[in-house]
């Protein structure tokens, strides 16, 4: 499983990362798949957990941690770079938390997060991996996902294919208390030069501020930010 660098402890740690990326594992499952002794597997997994290279899900199984996403997000990324130029203005306009998400498999990863300087905020750290089952950004990314991914996502989603059809028609999505109690959000798609949806811009904040129909208040601004990122991707020379 993987390459042999000649550095045993490194190879074993990387093997654990590959295994938990394929499927969540408890200690017994990790030992079964890797063939590592129980004490070794536990020591390495806990060490990786300290550095947030792995973390634990609700049932206590190891899964990829937020550090992996943060490291990937800091690599040169045209979408992220374009978003960093456009999203601060959206945050200033709305006063709410702003994020850029990209779909990776059946998860969405926060590539950029811009938070208000004070007050209540919906903090999603860069590199965070969230499920595709709920939230306006998840719905935007699902609306333009490939059929196989969409079928998998809809098995656990709080939304339906009919909802996604409406999102494709109007060009934005909203959610109220789907991902987290008391949080509302609005999202719109970012497209590359070929027109494919490659990310979703999102604003999120308390329902008390955003309202029960946040799209009526902020959809136009979110779409404008997403279009600004799209324009930079389509014409990189202007960025």
What is the domain extent for residue 48?
8-64
In a domain, 117, yes or no: yes
Share of the chain above pLDDT 90, in %: 72
Burial of 208 (0-12, 13-18, 19+ CB in 10 A): exposed
Which pLDDT band, with edges at 50, 70 and 90, does 126 fall under?
confident
On whether residue 1 sits in a domain, the answer given is no
136 shares a domain with 20: no
Residue 89: inside a domain, yes or no?
Answer: yes
| Structural domain contains residue 3 | no
Q: Which of 24, 39, 64 is the last residue of a domain?
A: 64
Q: Do 86 and 57 fall within a single domain?
A: no
Q: What is the pLDDT of residues 129-172, one digit of tens each?
A: 899 999 999 999 999 999 988 999 999 999 999 999 999 999 99
**pLDDT at residue 70 greater than cutoff 80:** no
- Rounded to an integer, the average pLDDT of 169-192 is 94
* Boundary (domain end) residue, out of 64, 87, 110: 64
Q: Which of 47, 64, 81 is a domain's end point?
A: 64
Together in a domain, 79 and 49: no
**Is the predicted pLDDT of residue 122 greater than 80, yes or no?**
no
Confidence class for position 203, pLDDT limits 50, 70, 90 = very high
């Amino acid at each position: 499983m993987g390459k042999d660098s000649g550095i045993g402890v490194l190879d074993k740690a990387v093997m654990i990362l590959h295994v938990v990326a394929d499927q969540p594992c408890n200690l017994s499952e990790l030992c079964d798949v890797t063939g590592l002794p129980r004490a070794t597997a536990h020591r390495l997994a806990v060490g990786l957990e300290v550095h947030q290279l792995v973390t634990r899900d609700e049932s206590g199984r190891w899964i990829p941690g937020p550090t992996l996403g943060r490291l990937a997000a800091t690599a040169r990324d045209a979408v992220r770079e374009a978003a960093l130029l456009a999203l601060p203005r959206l945050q200033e306009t709305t006063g709410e938390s702003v994020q850029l998400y990209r779909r990776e498999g059946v998860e969405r990863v926060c590539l950029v997060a811009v938070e208000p300087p004070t007050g209540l905020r919906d903090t999603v750290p860069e590199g965070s991996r969230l499920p595709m089952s709920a939230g306006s950004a998840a719905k935007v990314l699902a609306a333009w996902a490939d059929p196989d991914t969409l079928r998998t996502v809809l098995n656990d989603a709080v939304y339906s294919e009919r909802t996604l059809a409406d999102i494709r028609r109007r060009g934005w999505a909203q959610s109220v208390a789907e991902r987290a109690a008391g949080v509302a959000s609005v999202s719109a798609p970012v497209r590359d030069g070929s027109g494919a949806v490659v990310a979703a811009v999102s604003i999120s904040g308390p329902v008390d501020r955003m309202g029960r129909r946040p799209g009526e208040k902020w959809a136009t601004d979110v779409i404008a930010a997403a279009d600004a990122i799209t324009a930079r991707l389509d014409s990189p020379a202007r960025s």
